[in-house]
Structure 1
Amino acid sequence: MIRVTKLFFAVILCCAMLILPKTASTHCQVPCGIYDDNARVVGMLEDVATIRKAVKMLFELADKTDVQSRQQFVRWVTTKEDHAEKIISTIANYFLTQRVKAKQTDYVERLTRHHAVIVNAMQAKQKADQKVVKVLEDSVKALLQYYPEHN
C-alpha cells in the first residue's frame, strides 16, 4: 500500500510539473561571472518593439467582429502583456539583484532609472497607447549608459 501511495504521489508531482506554468529566468542567481548586460538591455528593446507592434495591431483589429480577428486581438493583448512582464522580470531578477549595488556612487540614480523601467512596463501592460510605449522605450534606452556594448 505504501508503494502504491508513493507511486501515486510521484505521478501527481510529475503531472503537476508538466501542467503548472514555468517561470523564465533571465539569468541564474549563481555568481557565475557570465554577464552580458548590454545584451539584456537590447533584449528589452526588442520586447518594447514587440509591445509597439502589439499596440498597433490592437488598433487595427479593434473594430473587427469576426471570430478570427477577435482571437488575434486577444493574442496581441497577451503578447503585449507578456513582453512587458518580461521587461519587469529582467529588471527585477537580473539588474536589481545582480548589477545595481548599494556601494555604487550613483546607486540612487541607477535605482531610480531601473525602477522607472518597471513602472513604465507596468503602464504598457495596462494601456494600449503608443505614447506609453515611447516612454518605456526611452527609459530602457537610458540604461544603455550603464551597460555599453563590449568591444
Structure 2
Amino acid sequence: MSRAKKMAVAGCLAMAGVAAVALAHCQIPCGIYGDSTRFTTMREHVTTIEKSMKQIVELGADTANMNQLVRWVDNKETHADALSEIVTAYFMTQRIKPVAEEQKEAYAKYVTEITLLHQMLVESMKSKQTTDPEHCAKLRTLIDQFETSYSKH
C-alpha cells in the first residue's frame, strides 16, 4: 500500500475515533441535559427532511440534476439519522427511565412515551424510503405529543 493510501486510511480512522468520542459524550452520563434544545433540533431535522423531499421531487424531473439530486437524498438521510439518534441516544437511553408496572400511573406514562419515541423512529425510517411529506407531518405531531407528555415530569 502506498504512503498516500496509508495516510488516507489513518486519517479516516482518526476521524472515526473523534466521531465516536463526540457521540459518547452524553452517555457518560455528564448530567448536562438540554431538553428544549433537543426538541428544537428535532423539529429542525424534520423541516430539513421535508425541504430535501421537495428538492428531490423537483430535481428528479431532469436527469441533468442528478448530482444535486444525490446531495439532497444524502441530506435527507443524514437528518433522518440525526433525528433517530436524538430519539434513541438522548431520550430512550438517558432521559426516559424504566418504571415498574406496579406504579400504574407512572408506568402508563412510560409506555406512552416509549411508544411515541418508537413511532418517531418508524416515521424517520419511512422518511428515508420515500418523498411523501406525510411522514414529516406525522413526525411533527409525534414530537408535539411526546413533548407534551414529557414536559409533565
What range describes the TM-score normalised by the shorter chain of this pair? 0.7 to 0.9
Q: CA deviation at 1:27?
A: 5.3
Give the Cα–Cα distance (whole angstroms) in 2 for the partners of residues 34 and 132 of structure 1: 31
Q: TM-score, normalised by structure 2?
A: 0.78
Aligned residues: 136
Equivalent residue in structure 1 for 2:47, among 49, 62, 67 = 49
Cα distance change on mapping 1:59 and 1:26 into 2, 3 Å: farther
Match of 1:101 in 2: 97
1:73 aligns with 2:69: yes
Larger Rg, first or second structure (1 or 2): 1
Instruction: Measure how far apart 1:139 and its partner are.
Output: 1.3
**3-state SS of 1:31 partner:** coil
- Residue 3 of structure 2 aligns with which residue? none
Q: Which runs of 5+ in 2 are unaligned?
A: 1-6, 100-105
For residues 55-94 of structure 1, the C-alpha deviation after alignment (integer angstroms, 9 at most, x for no partner) is 111111111121xx11110000000011001111111111
How far, CA to CA, are the matches of 1:44 and 1:76 in structure 2?
18
Query: What is the deviation of 1:19?
Result: 6.0
Separation of aligned partners in 1, 2:76 and 2:24: 18
Question: CA RMSD, aligned part only?
Answer: 2.3
CA distance in 1, matches of 2:82, 2:16: 18
Tell me which of 28, 38, 49 is aligned to 2:26: 28
Identity level (%): 35
Partner Cα distance (2:120, 2:68) in 1: 27
Q: 1:34 to 1:19 in 2, by over 3 A?
A: closer
Is the aligned partner of 1:113 residue 2:116?
yes
Cα distance in 2 for partners of 1:65, 1:97 equals: 43
SS of the residue corresponding to residue 138 of structure 2 reads helix
**Unaligned stretches of 5+ residues in structure 1:** 1-10
Per-residue CA shift, 1:1-38, capped at 9, x if unaligned? xxxxxxxxxx7984342465845638511232211112
